[in-house]
Structures are given as C-alpha cells and as structure tokens.
Chain A
Amino acid sequence: MARMKFLCDAERCIECNGCVTACKQEHEIPWGVNRRRVVTINDGVPGERSVSVACMHCSDAPCAAVCPVDCFYRNDAGVVLHDKDLCIGCGYCFYACPFGAPQFPQQGAFGMRGKMDKCTFCAGGPEPDLSKAEFEKYGRNRLAEGKLPVCAEMCSTKALLGGDGDTIADIYRERASRRQQRGTISLPPWGWDTAYGRPETAKATGTKS
C-alpha cells in the first residue's frame, strides 16, 4: 500500500460543508478549531469552485521540518501525525504549512495558544489504539478500525476522496477521462452532467448541462 492521501474534485464539491461537520462531530473537536474547511474561489461568480482543505499529509512535510521539538512523525500508512505531549504550541508549523492545517485551540482568560491540533487522517496518534487517551487527544482512530476518514466516506457528491494515493488517483483518472469525452461546444466539459452523468447517455440524448 502506498501513502494515504486526500484528493478533492473541485468540479464536484458543492460547498455543503458536510465534511467539516462530520469531522467535528466524529472527533468532538472544540469550538474554534477546524481540522477541515471548505475554501471557495470566485464566490458568487459564474464558474466558482470550492475545494475541501485539511492536512495534506505531505511526503516532505514542512511542519515537521520547522518543529523545534520534533514532535511530528509519519506512520506506516504515510500519515503525518504529532505527539501532543511534546508540542509546545509555538505555532511554527502553522507558519510553515501552505494549507493552514495546524490549528490552535484558544482557551482561558488570556487567549493562550494551546497545543497544536490538526487532521490525523482519522488515524489517532501516539497513544494505545482506540484508547480513551487517544480519543481525547487526537480523536477517533478509524484507520485502526479498517475504515477511511469520515470526511471522505460521507462526502455526498464523492468530491472528496481519501485513501491509498494510487487507488484514489485511479478513481479520479477514470472520472476525468469520462469527462474528457465531452469536450465540444454542444457538450461542454463542465456542469452537472459532466460531474455526475454518464457521458455516453448524455451524448445519445444530446442534453446540455
């Protein structure tokens, strides 16, 4: 198995924020912390696109490179995780991350920055698997249960794919190749039919998106 990755199909994402909600509910994330969020570009303008963003579990993670206490590690599945017992909440990882994935809970009278929290690919952390300590610090460990991240699994339009990088790339490639068959003016390569329809059916009926 290769590395675990996320892939968001901007053609399909409808900005429902279901992934954000599911993540918060699954891991009981505190108020003010968003492990995942949906970013919309050209909001309100024809052709706007939305994409769901969280930790991308980089192969050469900049957060790990700048961490002064070296609390980051990559597990067997290629998921970038960190040890909250070691984290000092300095925020370097937040500055280094190009996706803004590291989150810092701000609680207390002085708005102190707590220990960093981020997407774990539903893989828990360095505590005994499926233990209470793991859940409280890192959230649920779905990977240890043989499941994929909840955000990807519950995505209603299947815009967000999660799993083995090679496998989800194959899924997306098949999807993109079907779209590519519709590259004409009468059947433009965008729209509802492109994202969800079957090209051969659309061609036969000549429906427009």
Chain B
Amino acid sequence: MTTRIVVAALIATAAVLVTACSERPQVVQYKQGTYQGKPDTPPYANAPFNGNQTEWESALRTRQQAQNEYKRTN
C-alpha cells in the first residue's frame, strides 16, 4: 500500500516537473486588424477626476469655449 502511494506521489511529482518543460510561444500571435498592445485607461479614470466622466467633459467644455473669442470677455 505504502509503495503504491510512493509511486503515485513520484508520478505526480514527475508530471508537475514536466509541465515546466512545456514550450511557450515566443512570438506574439497577431490577430489581423485588432490592437495588440497594452490596454489604456480613459483619460478621466484617475485623479483628479477619479472616473467622473461628466466632470471631465465639463472641464474640457470650459477650455474649448475659451478658444472662442466671441464668447470671451474682452
């Protein structure tokens, strides 16, 4: 009984060790037409807006209108 357990343990250990020898692809698998790089976060995701898209859009809207001299106080 003990021998069987030892044999089973050895087989399991060998199997675990062999898995480390598996070959991993060294070349990126490109998918035609889709972005392959790192993911990016939306511009309002972090501080100072902390995910508040409305506040971010409002800030940009104010800046955009500052480009219109007809709306600015001269």
- Chain A residues in the interface with B (C-beta under 8 A): 1, 69-73, 75-77, 81-83, 85-86, 123-130, 141, 143-148, 152-153, 158, 161-164, 167-168, 171, 174-175, 178
Q: Is the CB of A126 within 8 A of B46?
A: no
Q: Could you list 22 A-B pairs, sorted by A, with CB under 8 Å?
A: A1-B60, A69-B30, A73-B35, A73-B37, A83-B37, A85-B37, A127-B38, A128-B41, A130-B46, A130-B47, A143-B43, A144-B45, A144-B46, A145-B48, A147-B59, A147-B60, A152-B67, A163-B64, A163-B67, A168-B67, A171-B64, A175-B70
Q: How large is the interface on B (under 10, 10 to 19, 20 to 34, 35 or more residues)?
A: 20 to 34
Q: Is the CB of B39 within 8 A of A126?
A: yes
Option from A82, A83, A161 in Cβ contact (under 8 Å) with B67: A161
Q: Is the CB of A171 within 8 A of B38?
A: no
* B31–chain A nearest beta-carbon distance, Å: 7
Please give 15 more A-B residue pairs, beta carbons under 8 A apart, in addition to A83-B36, A86-B37, A146-B59: A70-B35, A73-B35, A73-B40, A75-B40, A125-B40, A126-B40, A128-B41, A129-B41, A153-B67, A158-B67, A158-B69, A163-B64, A164-B61, A174-B68, A178-B70
- Chain B residues in the interface with A (C-beta under 8 A): 28, 30-49, 56-57, 59-61, 63-70
